[in-house]
Amino acid sequence: MKISTVIFDLDGTLLDTLDDLKNAVNYALSLRGLPQYTRPQISAMVGNGIGLLIKRAAGENCDEALLRTMLDDFISYYKAHLHDCSRPYDGMIDLLRELKRRGYKTALVSNKWNEAVEILCKVFFNGLLDAQTGELDDLPRKPDRALVDLVLSRLGVQKDECLYVGDSGVDVETARNAELPFVGVTWGFRTRKQLLSCGAKNLIDRPEELYRYLEG
């Protein structure tokens, strides 16, 4: 069946959000006199939701009560600075516009909490996505297929019509669990080598290269 719908990851795929995430993590750490992290270090921690991001930043031995207060501080700071530095990757807005012009549906599935996803989509992709969801309280996050299935239901499309695009091992596994073909992007939070080691077979270095997988 011909592909009619492209589902994208957000962080590291459509948007470079790493500096805002780093700043929010370091803010929560600084309140407690804990060591700060660099952009590459934070890059290695993201992808599984903010709860695990904070746990990884604080260290495995951090107690649950402290983790909860750190998460609250992270969210408070991040909400106020959600798109100070975040920007679409070069060519992504043009890609989304061209996909819509060619008649494709576009969607977004992220492990970022849903409120933040809604705000970022409105700021950067208003009118360019047909459906989106972030992490929800009543559904498991990626790599479980539940959020993907939710978006497919909202769009009224079958999985055989869809392509999944992401930048991490979590995305590779999500596509596998949802039974979707996968294209990995090399401009995000993981390297080409890391994506290949996770089982990604189709990789692109520039957004416009996606067309060959859709129409080839």
Q: Do residues 204 and 186 lie in contact, with contact meaning Cβ atoms separated by under 8 Å?
A: yes
CA distances from 1 to 4, 37, 104, 177 (A): 9, 46, 14, 19
Q: Do residues 159 and 175 lie in contact, with contact meaning Cβ atoms separated by under 8 Å?
A: no
Pairing, β 105-113 against β 87-88: unpaired
> Catalytic residue at 9?
yes
d(CA 3, CA 174): 18
CA distances from 107 to 7, 40, 128, 164 (A): 5, 28, 9, 9
Q: Could you tell me where the beta strands, DSSP code E, fall in the chain?
A: 5-8, 15-16, 87-88, 105-113, 131-135, 162-166, 182-185, 203-204
Please pick, among 9, 11, 16, 73, the residue that the annotation labels catalytic: 9
Q: Which residues are catalytic?
A: 9
